[in-house]
Chain A
Amino acid sequence: MNSTNQTAPGTAVKLAVENVSKTFRMRHGIVHALDNVTLRIHEGEFVCIVGPSGCGKTTLLNIIAGLETPDTGRVLADGKPVTGAGSDRLVLFQEPALFPWLDVMGNVMFGLKLKPNLNNKERRDVAEFYLRLVGLEKFMHANIHELSGGMKQRVALARALAPNPRVLLMDEPFGSLDALTREQLYGDLQAIWQKRPKTIIFVTHNAREAACLGDRVVLLSARPGRVREQFQIQLPRPRDINSVEVAKHSVEIIHALKPHLTTDIESAAE
């Protein structure tokens, strides 16, 4: 597949979102979630999608994952149209979505058990590695209801990272964490991404988070979501969220974001 490549010349297009639109029929009317969104995401790229809340970021992510279908347009993964969910596009949801009938280890093992090329010993080792990474190795045999909200989200992160998916779709995964844990995980996520290259789409409403993590930041407008602007962040990694360079980029994004915060409210309320 050919494409104009603006970020990492020579690498293939991993995900192509082509003219995707989506409307929802709700009780109080029709909500235009996405309007003609087109995006190309390259193999190994870390893309952050930023936009005001309710702009359809989550819907876009679900469509890329194959969990929802667009009204018009399509998504290509490795050049093939996406028709459903699959382990090549793993999603880390906004809520932890951990399985209460399994303990912490059982949850992290879930995706690993679906990988036939590993034996059980390897699976356990991988699971333990990621639990250590999120600092929960002591809670391996804990039940899900015994964990705090932040701990649950960290288990969910370990569960998502453990099968080493080619594409990881993250939907505001750190929103419920305390600032310290979050900052630590920014570092860990970058380290893992560099060690185990994968394509990441990271949805957030936090411009600073986006500037810290992304190779590219895509700005969506308020409902209906449209791609408004894109920013290349060419800073060396690992990046520190508190660094001046990240702050500079984040200020730029926030300035671009502001005019979109209040638009289209009338149309959303229709």
Chain B
Amino acid sequence: MKRWLQCILFFGALAGVWEWLVRAGVWPPTIVPAPSEVFRYLVDSVADGTLLGATWVTVRRLVLGYVFGFALGHPIGILIARFRFFKDTIGLLALGLQSLPSICWAPLALLWFGQTETAMFFIVIMGSVWSIMLATDAGVRHVPPIYRWAAMTMGSRGLHLWAKVILPAALPFIVSGMKQGWAFAWRSLMAAEIYVTILTGFGLGHLLHYGRELHAMDTVLGIMLVIIMVGLATDKLLFAPVERFIHRRWGTARA
């Protein structure tokens, strides 16, 4: 309760000082609009449907690309951990491509797929797949052999051994890789949406871009706020429960 109060007071004060600085004329409203202006923009754009529409377009791209990236990266990560051949080939490729910011794929993606959803999809996959792959590999490799042995002498083998022992044991690694993949995908998608006009749908990045073009700073700040909210919400809804489970079971320090 006390922590909530502190939180509300802090952000209330921040907004208050900001509002005052604009109203007192210290900051020109064309460069830094007051929080009340940003709030009015948000209310209006929710009312006319542009904001929710754009959020939906962006989140759909992100989720589709991420799910596909996981479906691809996770099994290949297992193969890399399991077979030397995959480690020396795809493993090396993944290591190289993980260091490449996936927005660098944008020129090629546009050339290959045009200004379409597919290009966005491709960029999101390239952002997430390598992190997930490498984290799965690292997680599986770090499973203490004694867990495997203990399970084997209790009659576990093959698929059961993977599903019930190796992957659960690797869970902390896998989840941190998934978080990293998510962050990479999210950043790349935003960069791509700001940088490229996609004809098939208007995302949050595009709204931000047009806000700048029209010099509507209330739009720019409002969209930035929404982007932050989407990021926070996914963290709280998607990753926080799994991380809580890991902290509780493994007894690791709370983040």
Give the interface of A toward B (CB within 8 A). Answer: 65, 67, 84-87, 89-91, 93, 95, 97, 99-103, 110-111, 114-115, 143-146, 159, 163, 169
Q: A101–B168 contact, CB under 8 A?
A: yes
* Given A101-B171, A143-B248, also A114-B155 (CB < 8 A): yes
**CB within 8 A of A143: which of B146, B155, B249?**
B249
Chain A residues whose C-beta falls within 8 Å of the C-beta of B156 in the assembled complex: 110, 114
Known: A97-B147, A110-B154. 20 other contacts (CB 8 A): A85-B152, A91-B149, A93-B146, A97-B144, A97-B150, A99-B147, A99-B151, A99-B165, A99-B168, A100-B169, A100-B250, A101-B169, A101-B171, A101-B250, A103-B249, A110-B151, A110-B156, A143-B248, A145-B251, A146-B251
Q: Determine if B150 and A163 form an interchain contact, defined as CB atoms under 8 angstroms apart.
A: no
Does the CB pair A95–B146 fall under 8 Å?
yes
B153 within 8 A of A: yes
Nearest residue (CB) in A for B168 is A101
Q: How far is the CA of A115 from the CA of B156 in the complex (A)?
A: 10
Interface residues of B in 222-255 (CB under 8 A from A): 248-251
A67 near B152 with CB under 8 A, answer: yes
Chain B residues positioned under 8 Å from A100 (CB to CB) = 169, 249-251
Report Cα–Cα, A103/B150, bound state, in Å: 16
CA distance in complex: A113, B99 (Å): 43
- Of A65, A95, A99, A146, the residue contacting B153 (CB under 8 A) is A65
Residues of A within 8 A of B146 (CB): 93, 95, 97
Cβ–Cβ contact B155 & A111, under 8 A = yes
Q: Which residues of A contact B171 (CB under 8 A)?
A: 101
Closest 6 CB pairs of A and B: A87-B155, A145-B251, A111-B154, A85-B152, A97-B150, A101-B168
Residues of B contacting A102 with CB < 8 Å? 168, 249
What residues of A have a CB within 8 angstroms of the CB of B151 in the complex? 99, 110
Interface centre among B147, B152, B248 (most CB of A within 10 A): B152
Given A91-B149, A93-B146, A99-B165, residue A143 in contact with residue B154 (CB < 8 A): no
Contact of A67 with B149 at beta-carbon distance under 8 Å, contacts A143-B249, A145-B251, A146-B251 already known: yes
